[in-house]
Amino acid sequence: MVRSIYSIDELMIESLTASVLIKKSGKSKEKKSNSVLPRITANKIQINNTNLSYGDSIGKQSIIAGINYLKFKDASIDLQNQNSHIK
């Protein structure tokens, strides 16, 4: 399969509220997907006035973050290999 690569010059996230919860799923009879997840890169990312909540009921971990101002340069996320790189 062909892998998608998304390149962003500048990304501004403002006043976002996001919540992610990872739960144990039931047994699935579906076959594994052969899809390939994308790689995303950005020259500049700025996050302002944002609230994030992450919960993992499997690993019993949680993170709550209030971000007033955060700036990254040369960031990349490889979703297929679960890697990220941020300067």
Express each pLDDT in 73-83 by its tens digit.
Answer: 999 989 888 88
31 domain-assigned: no
Share of the chain above pLDDT 90, in %: 55
Q: What is the pLDDT of residue 14?
A: 97
The Cα–Cα gap between 26 and 20 comes to 18
48 domain-assigned: yes
71 domain-assigned: yes
75 domain-assigned: yes
2 domain-assigned: no
Instruction: Indicate whether 31 pLDDT > 80.
Output: no
The number of domains in the chain is 1
Range of the domain at 13: 7-21+38-85
For residue range 43-63, list pLDDT tens digits in order. Answer: 999 999 999 999 988 888 999
Q: Take residue 28 and report the two structure tokens written for it.
A: 């699935």
Contact 87, 74 (CB under 8 A): yes
56 domain-assigned: yes
pLDDT band per the 50, 70, 90 thresholds, residue 13:
very high
Contact 85, 79 (CB under 8 A): no
pLDDT band per the 50, 70, 90 thresholds, residue 22:
confident
